[in-house]
């Protein structure tokens, strides 16, 4: 058995870790981590030598230790790799929580890194007709080093879950965060989960159909690109905020137009800025169809032509399936949302969503990022008709809640419109927050109603 190396915390640097935080930084250690192998399992002790945890060590990153477990069970770490049994237990613990909120025939984030006790590992489960795809992202060196064990555990888990027989893994190792861990970006790999063999039919996964939870206990089907799409190919973190918006919209429609549905001649108009594959718009379309509030007009704006093509397909497929295509118009606009959108002449949108990618990647870009958010949110408010709804979001972890509120205020003032902010959103239940790990709390969302100009 390989001897497990030990790291010791400095006496005055123990409190944060002992209170539950899963990381230790290099300046908090008595010894330099430079002698460690990249991603090897190490033990962590307090200044007096008392055992605290096992975790992954890193000689290159500012984060020198990532917690795996505070249990003193060496059987998980007897070889060069972490035992698949360890990952299998953690994956099932993650699923045990999610079964209260998601059905087996729905898609969701199965493993959310530190929140699920698997620092540096993301696993999204995409459930499609007759098959399941797990998108695996190892962001940290320890998880990258132990991919074989993760895959073995995931295969066993999938079998025990009773997944359809066609099971695949899309391995995404293209995140820029890998470079901070001393890892290189690598091409996406497609693997058959049953045999472990690499697959070559990538095209089947560039517009992969999968199911998510819709309103009224329904299921929505949409497509996304699991090979080159953003992050894991989809954003499950916004589902709870979409739920909030649906709730407000259902109530507003009832009182705006009366309890008995009546058609609105010009149609209900939705503007989806940074639409990606049209998730927000698809849910809103379902809401309008449910309340018979048609016709409706959807405009999706994004910088990616490939994403817009999928978004249009998602929306039109739903309209055709529900036999309302005659009352639905879908427009796509390829544009940079931070540039003047002169092509959108009409400002009378009933609902505007601004859900951009992270504008702040590092601390040095906070000021510039805040300005970008203010510009986008100002546009969103200006494009909303009096009495309409506006949704403003940020997924930048480095943008504090206080700065987000400041940015919203600046956008409102510049637009010369008053906004009544009705609700503050939160991440979906599969992206839950640990109070002892605020770095995992990144998503911010406000929903408001725009007053007269």
Residue 273 three-state SS = strand
**Banded model confidence at residue 258, pLDDT cuts 50, 70, 90:** low
Percentage, residues of the chain above pLDDT 90: 77
Q: What does the DSSP 8-state code read for residue 9?
A: B
pLDDT computed for residue 264 by the predictor: 53
Mean confidence (pLDDT) of the chain: 91
The CATH number of 5-77 is 2.30.130.10
- Whether the CB-CB separation of 224 and 242 falls below 8 Å is answered with no
Question: For 206-216, what is the mean pLDDT?
Answer: 90
Instruction: Please report how the helices 147-161 and 84-98 are oriented relative to each other, as an axis angle in degrees rounded to 10.
Output: 50
Please give the span between the terminal C-alpha atoms of the chain, in angstroms, as a whole number.
Answer: 72
Question: For 7-14, what is the mean pLDDT?
Answer: 92
- Whether the CB-CB separation of 353 and 271 falls below 8 Å is answered with yes
The two structure tokens encoding residue 76: 């998980």
Question: pLDDT tens digits, residue range 159-208?
Answer: 999 999 999 999 999 988 888 888 988 999 999 999 999 999 899 999 99
- Whether the CB-CB separation of 410 and 403 falls below 8 Å is answered with no
The CATH number of 84-208 is 3.30.750.80
Domain 235-450, CATH among 3.40.50.720, 3.40.630.40, 3.40.50.300, 3.40.50.150: 3.40.50.150
Residue with tokens 């698809």: 282
Question: pLDDT tens digits, residue range 81-118?
Answer: 899 999 999 999 999 999 999 999 999 999 999 999 99
Residue 259 has pLDDT above 60, yes or no: no
Residue with tokens 């699991």: 226
Residue with tokens 């300005």: 371
pLDDT computed for residue 63 by the predictor: 94
Question: pLDDT tens digits, residue range 425-437?
Answer: 999 999 998 888 8
pLDDT computed for residue 215 by the predictor: 80
Residue with tokens 């002169």: 342
Sequence ranges of the domains in the chain: 5-77, 84-208, 235-450
Higher pLDDT, 254 or 219: 219
Residue 261 has pLDDT above 70, yes or no: no
Question: pLDDT tens digits, residue range 331-377?
Answer: 999 998 888 777 776 668 999 999 999 999 888 889 999 999 999 99
Q: What is the pTM of this model?
A: 0.93
The two structure tokens encoding residue 73: 């069970």
Cis peptide before 364 (omega within 30 of 0): no
Burial zone of 19 (CB within 10 Å; 0-12 exposed, 13-18 middle, 19+ buried):
exposed
Question: pLDDT tens digits, residue range 398-424?
Answer: 999 999 999 999 999 999 999 999 999
**Banded model confidence at residue 79, pLDDT cuts 50, 70, 90:** confident
């Amino acid at each position: 058995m390989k001897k497990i190396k030990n790291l010791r915390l400095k006496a005055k640097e123990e409190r944060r870790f002992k209170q539950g935080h899963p990381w230790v930084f290099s300046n908090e250690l008595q010894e330099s981590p430079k002698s460690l192998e990249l991603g090897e399992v190490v033990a962590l002790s307090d200044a007096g030598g008392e055992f605290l945890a096992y975790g992954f060590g890193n000689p290159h990153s500012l984060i020198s230790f990532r917690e795996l477990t505070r249990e003193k069970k060496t059987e998980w770490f007897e070889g060069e790799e972490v035992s698949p049994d360890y990952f299998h237990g953690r994956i099932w613990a993650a699923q045990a929580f999610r079964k209260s909120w998601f059905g087996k025939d729905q898609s969701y984030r199965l493993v959310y890194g530190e929140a699920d006790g698997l620092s540096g590992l993301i696993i999204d489960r995409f459930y499609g007709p007759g098959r399941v795809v797990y998108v695996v992202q190892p962001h940290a060196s320890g998880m990258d080093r132990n991919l074989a064990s993760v895959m073995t555990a995931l295969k066993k888990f999938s079998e025990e879950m009773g997944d359809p027989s066609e099971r695949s893994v899309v391995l995404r190792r293209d995140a820029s965060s890998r470079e901070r861990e001393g890892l290189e970006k690598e091409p996406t790999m497609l693997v058959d989960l049953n045999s472990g063999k690499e697959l070559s039919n990538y095209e089947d996964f560039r517009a992969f159909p999968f199911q998510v939870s819709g309103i009224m206990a329904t299921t929505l089907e949409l497509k996304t690109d699991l090979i080159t799409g953003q992050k894991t190919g989809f954003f499950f973190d916004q589902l709870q905020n979409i739920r909030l918006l649906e709730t407000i919209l259902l109530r507003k429609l009832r009182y705006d137009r009366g309890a008995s549905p009546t058609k609105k001649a010009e149609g209900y108009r939705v503007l989806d800025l940074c639409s990606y594959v049209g998730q927000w718009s698809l849910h809103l379309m379902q809401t309008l169809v449910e309340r018979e509030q048609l016709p409706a007009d959807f405009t999706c704006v994004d910088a990616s032509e490939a994403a817009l093509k999928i978004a249009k397909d998602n929306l039109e497929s739903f309209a055709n399936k529900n036999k309302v295509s005659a009352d639905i118009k879908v427009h796509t606009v390829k544009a940079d949302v931070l540039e003047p959108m002169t092509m959108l002449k009409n400002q009378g949108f009933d609902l505007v969503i601004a859900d951009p990618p992270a504008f702040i990647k590092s601390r040095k870009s906070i000021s510039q990022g805040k300005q970008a958010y203010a510009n986008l949110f100002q546009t969103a408010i200006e494009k909303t008709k009096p009495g309409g709804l506006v949704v403003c979001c940020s997924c930048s972890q480095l943008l504090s809640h206080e700065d987000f509120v400041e940015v919203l205020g600046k956008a409102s003032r510049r637009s010369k419109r008053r906004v009544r902010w009705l609700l503050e959103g939160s991440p979906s239940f599969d992206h839950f927050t640990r109070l002892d790990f605020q770095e995992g709390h990144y998503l911010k969302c406000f929903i408001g109603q725009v007053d007269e100009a």
